[in-house]
Structure 1
Amino acid sequence: MNIRFDRFPNGGKKAVTLSFDDGREYDRRLVQLFNRYGLKGTFHLNSGFFGRESYIEAGEVAELFHGHEVSIHTTHHPFLEQSPQEQIIYQIVQDRQALETLVRYPIRGMSYPFGTYNGAVMEQLRSLGIEYARTVSSHGSFHMPENWLSWHPTCHHKDMLTYADQFISIEHRHSRMSLLYVWGHSYEFEGDQNWELVDRFAEKISGRDDIWYATNAEIVAYMQALKALRFTVDGSIVHNPTASDVWISVNDEPAQVKAGSMLELHR
């Protein structure tokens, strides 16, 4: 029996996630566009900048990003790898607490300010309950991350049309999950006067049955649930101890393993 962890929710093998930093006022327009097309975004916010010129207000965060994900970006956007341990802890914990107070759910992810980090920073994140952290090192591919604390995106939003075309046309020679991860800043659309990129991208990528549209945190949680599956030695029975339905391949066919259930797999 050939069992593989190669499927997203509903048995598909493709997912799209979008990630934008800083919490600038142009996030309002970007969220409206995402909502129009059914796309999901993760928005990494600096709580210490709320209310400043060109930044969003704290009081609008919960409603504005409803249906998307709010994630941390540190309180004041320092270079973490140049910071003492105490400042790293302060910047992460304070931002997380401030944002959780606004959105009323646990926040377990972030993006690195300036995209910079080192091993010591990553170790601090683990101890502070952070499960993923996005970099700005685009790899131009669609593979899943090897390390969630150095989660490299596919591309910056300036290149998302090119990668959308490539992503849609993927035909796997070998079965695997494919993820299109786009990152950027909403203020860049305004500065470059190219908001039409969002519409053109969304028209290409949205509304497809073979793509899962997810936030960063949803992807991490799904993968954690998938890896939590328990199999008998001969692979004939699988138990899902989590609260999430997951999908696997069994002899190249999709199989749903429902939350809290036991499933007998047929050869």
Structure 2
Amino acid sequence: MNIKYDRFYGGKSKALTLSYDDGREQDRRLVELMNRYGLKGAFHLNSGLLGRPGYIRSEEIQSLYQGHEVSVHTASHPFLDLIPQERLIMEIMEDRSALEKLVGHPVRGMSYPFGSYNEQVVQLLSALGMDYARTTGGNGGFSLPSNPLLWNPTCHHKQMLEYGEKFIQYEPRHSRMSLLYVWGHSYEYDRDDNWELVEQFGELTGGRADIWYATNIEIIAYLHALQQLQCSVSGRIIHNPSATAVWASVEGEAFVIPGGHTVHL
């Protein structure tokens, strides 16, 4: 029996997520456009900068980012590879604690300020409660992260149309799951006067039946649940110990394994 763990939520083989840093006031316009086209993403915020000129206010975070993810970007946006370990820990934990108070749930992801990190930084993240950390190193591909704590996006949003078109046409070998991951800063749309990119990207990639639109942490949580599936020697019994429903395929046909259930094939 040919069983593959090759489906995202809903049995889809493709997923799309966006990721924006700093919590600048242009996030308001960006979120409105993303919502219009059904796009989802993570917004990585510096809690120590909230309310300053040009930044969003703490009291609007819960309503503004509803349906999206609020994520760590450190409290004050330092170069993490240039500060003492004690300050590194506090930058992440202070930001995480402040954001959790604002959104009312655990915050488990982050992006690296300035894209800066080193081996010491990466090694500390799991102990600080981080399930993923996004870099700024676009890889031009649609693969899943091999190490979520060094999660390279597909591209910067300046290239979103180019890679959006490629993603729609993309047919991975061996029916693997594919992910389009776009990152940037919302203030760049004002600076470059190219807000039309978001609308064109939404028209191109939004509302498609073959794509799962998800936040960064939703993708990581789903992959964790998929990896926890327990399969019998015969391949005909699969148990899902997680609380999350996951999808797989048998002979190319998608099927669901509800959270906490055992499926007999």
TM-score calculated relative to the size of structure 2:
0.99
How much does 1:232 deviate?
Answer: 1.1
Q: Is the 8 A contact 1:88 1:124 kept in 2?
A: no
Q: How does 1:119-134 map to 2 (within 5 A)?
A: 119-134=119-134
Match of 1:235 in 2: 235
AA of the residue aligned to 2:88: I
Distance (whole Å) between structure 1 residues aligned to residue 172 and residue 67 of structure 2: 31
Match of 1:221 in 2: 221
Match of 1:62 in 2: 62
Match of 1:175 in 2: 175
Distance (whole Å) between structure 1 residues aligned to residue 141 and residue 59 of structure 2: 37
Q: How does 1:130-149 map to 2 (within 5 A)?
A: 130-149=130-149
Task: Report the identity percentage.
Answer: 59
Distance (whole Å) between structure 1 residues aligned to residue 171 and residue 136 of structure 2: 27
How much does 1:173 deviate?
Answer: 3.3
Match of 1:76 in 2: 76
- Match of 1:122, SS state, is helix
AA of the residue aligned to 2:255: A
Match of 1:188 in 2: 188
Q: Is the 8 A contact 1:48 1:76 kept in 2?
A: yes
Distance (whole Å) between structure 2 residues aligned to residue 149 and residue 172 of structure 1: 24
Residue-by-residue CA offset, 1:87-130 (whole Å, 9 max, x unaligned):
01100000000000000010000000000111110111111110
Distance (whole Å) between structure 1 residues aligned to residue 134 and residue 157 of structure 2: 15
- Match of 1:23, SS state, is coil
Runs of 4 or more off by more than 4 Å in structure 1? none
Q: Is the 8 A contact 2:80 2:121 kept in 1?
A: yes
How much does 1:255 deviate?
Answer: 1.5
Distance (whole Å) between structure 1 residues aligned to residue 209 and residue 44 of structure 2: 28
Match of 2:244 in 1: 244
AA of the residue aligned to 1:248: A
Distance (whole Å) between structure 2 residues aligned to residue 133 and residue 27 of structure 1: 20
- Match of 2:223, SS state, is helix
Match of 1:161 in 2: 161
Match of 2:257 in 1: 257
How much does 1:184 deviate?
Answer: 0.1
How much does 1:176 deviate?
Answer: 0.2
Distance (whole Å) between structure 1 residues aligned to residue 59 and residue 178 of structure 2: 36
Distance (whole Å) between structure 2 residues aligned to residue 26 and residue 157 of structure 1: 15
How much does 1:171 deviate?
Answer: 2.1
Distance (whole Å) between structure 2 residues aligned to residue 173 and residue 195 of structure 1: 34
How much does 1:260 deviate?
Answer: 1.1
Distance (whole Å) between structure 2 residues aligned to residue 236 and residue 178 of structure 1: 26
AA of the residue aligned to 1:46: N
Residue-by-residue CA offset, 1:40-98 (whole Å, 9 max, x unaligned):
12000000001111001111111110110000000000111111110011000000000
The alignment covers a number of residue pairs equal to: 265
How much does 1:250 deviate?
Answer: 1.5
Distance (whole Å) between structure 1 residues aligned to residue 84 and residue 234 of structure 2: 50
Residue-by-residue CA offset, 1:239-266 (whole Å, 9 max, x unaligned):
111111100111222121111111012x
Q: How does 1:191-206 map to 2 (within 5 A)?
A: 191-206=191-206
AA of the residue aligned to 2:153: P
Distance (whole Å) between structure 1 residues aligned to residue 153 and residue 249 of structure 2: 26
Residue-by-residue CA offset, 1:141-172 (whole Å, 9 max, x unaligned):
10001000000000000000000000001123
Match of 1:102 in 2: 102
- Match of 1:137, SS state, is coil
Distance (whole Å) between structure 2 residues aligned to residue 83 and residue 6 of structure 1: 41
Distance (whole Å) between structure 2 residues aligned to residue 28 and residue 201 of structure 1: 18
- Match of 2:42, SS state, is strand
- Match of 1:126, SS state, is helix
Q: Is the 8 A contact 2:241 2:260 kept in 1?
A: yes
Match of 2:47 in 1: 47
Residue-by-residue CA offset, 1:165-217 (whole Å, 9 max, x unaligned):
00001123321000000000000000111000000000000000000000000
AA of the residue aligned to 1:203: E
TM-score calculated relative to the size of structure 1:
0.98
